[in-house]
Amino acid sequence: MEVDKLDHEIRVKEQEEEEEEEEEEVFYTPGPKELYDVRLEVLNYSLKQSAIRLQKLRQLKQSTTTTTPTTTLTTGIPSQDEINILKSRRQLNSNLSKYEIYGSQFIPGTTRTISNIKISNNDKYIACGSWDGSINLLNSQDLSIFKKTPSGFHNEKISGLSWNNNDNQLVSGDQNGLLLSSPIVSIKQAHNDRITKTLFHPINNLIISTSFDQTWKLWDLNKLSGQRDDLQCLVEQEGHSKPIFTGEIHPDGGLFMSGGLDGIVHIWDLRSGRSIVTLQKHMAGVYCLDWSPNGYQFVTGSGDCSLKIWDLRKLENNNSNNELYSIPAHTKLITDVKFYHQSRDIMQKQQQQQDQQQDQDHLLGSEFNDGKFLVSCSYDGDVNIWSSDNWIKIKSLRGHTDKVMSCDINSTGKWIVSSGWDRSIKLWK
């Protein structure tokens, strides 16, 4: 009887411990009442955008499918549509393999690493953030300085930088946890530690910031709580066991992906506030990530020197998820990765359509190529271009004399920019 009693007590204790572990795994911070309206706004926006994206994918599929889709299977001979797609891919890879350094700029007065570089949606300007606290806007045509932020905005490392869709606001974060949205709002001590990423939501009035304090926060620019420098935080979300180093918002606006130095990637549903997927396949911290324009693929880059490609449709909320591909992409820590996103604003789309009508042979502006390549950079000093058809490296761009910290692709895919430890900005065409 004593053995049975002891066995029962052990089982009860184990059950209590399991329940405590389950409670510790999922933790949600209550939000203010205004959060409901924001979630509803994000829901409506994401449903609309996903419908547009899916319709575009269907039209693209229909345009590349002949009336006899089994031609290749039945005869072994590819259809004309398949031949055209192959030609487009080959032309794209050929164009990308010809990229060379086009320009280089050292910004006068900048004394430390250029840590962040972001191209405006209209491709006119390049925003550069430095570890000395300065932010410079460069003309994309010749890398000349267009504007420099006044002194006093940031005093420490710029570690987050993002344009809004209209290119009239720039949000940035620094070593001291100061978050700015120029020229309207500043948020003092937005986090308790260094801000690592700042992002404008496609809705434009929402900002997401990630930090070394192991949280990410959602801010609404329309809901100032009194003073101009006192912005209400709608969401403060924990979930990582180490600092959150990076994050990215889904093209539809409904999901947010965070990566931390714990090597874990969380995908959060902004419409409900829940973590829907947890990925734990990297052997070191996750330093960069990006969504593909197709909405279901994404890439993560890590201190283990690998890029991992994932398919959202095949993931579940457990620890058994596996990546589609793991690419030994660099020999040192990967600092940044970007999919090619075509036409990031309506004006650029219209301009590209005009260019395509004038030059049908130019394939970089084709919808076939949206998201069909990505760019990564690393502490090894290389900027690598990858095909997203087969995940094979097309070319390594070498020009920096030290670690490369950040990279970006313009919305036509005609040029790439990078910044590095050597305090230079490189333009590749």
Q: Please give the full DSSP string across 295-357, using - where no structure is assigned.
A: SSEEEEEETTS-EEEEEGGG--SSTT---SEEE---SS-EEEEEE-----SHHHHHHHHHHHH
Q: What is the pLDDT of residue 63?
A: 65
The whole-angstrom separation of Cα 232 and Cα 251 is 25
Q: Which two tokens stand for residue 401?
A: 């004399």
Q: What is the pLDDT of residue 367?
A: 52
The whole-angstrom separation of Cα 182 and Cα 187 is 11
Amino acid at 397: L
The whole-angstrom separation of Cα 13 and Cα 254 is 40
CA 112 to chain centre: 24
Q: What is the pLDDT of residue 222?
A: 79
The whole-angstrom separation of Cα 302 and Cα 265 is 11
Q: What is the pLDDT of residue 152?
A: 66
pLDDT tens digits in sequence order for the chain, 429 residues long: 555 655 666 666 666 655 555 444 556 667 788 899 999 999 999 999 999 989 888 877 776 654 445 455 455 676 766 777 788 888 889 999 999 999 999 988 888 999 999 999 999 999 999 998 889 999 999 999 998 877 667 878 898 899 998 888 889 998 777 777 766 667 778 898 999 999 999 998 899 999 999 999 999 887 655 555 567 889 999 999 999 999 999 999 999 999 999 999 999 999 999 999 999 999 999 999 999 999 999 999 999 999 999 999 999 876 678 899 999 999 999 999 999 998 655 434 544 454 555 444 444 445 557 889 999 999 999 999 999 989 999 999 999 999 999 999 999 999 999 999 999 999 999
Facing residues of 116 across strands?
129
- Burial pattern 382-416, b for ≥16 Cβ within 10 A else e, equals bbbbbbbeebeebbebebbeebbbbbbbbbbbebb
